[in-house]
Amino acid sequence: MWRLHQMGLAHSIETWMDDELVGGLYGVSLGECLWRIDVQPQTDASKIALAHLVAQLKRWNFGMIDCR
């Protein structure tokens, strides 16, 4: 995954609360599409990360997120 990150293809978005990782997601992008996987130790925490991801992908002109 580190190599994909160095190539700009792997992305990680984390949600922290009181210095504790409570959720997030990571994914791999190809073209204008991102395939994502949630990491959710705390209920609904990855939804916050998803909202920030959507805002960033709009700035990057992505057309689709695979949300499964």
**pLDDT tens, 2-56?**
788 888 888 888 889 999 988 888 888 888 877 777 676 777 888 888 888 888 8
Measure the CA–CA gap between 6 and 42, rounded to whole angstroms.
29
Is 2-66 a CATH 3.20.20.80 domain?
no
Residues 57, 34 contacting (CB under 8 angstroms) = yes
24 CB burial (10 A radius; 0-12, 13-18, 19+):
buried
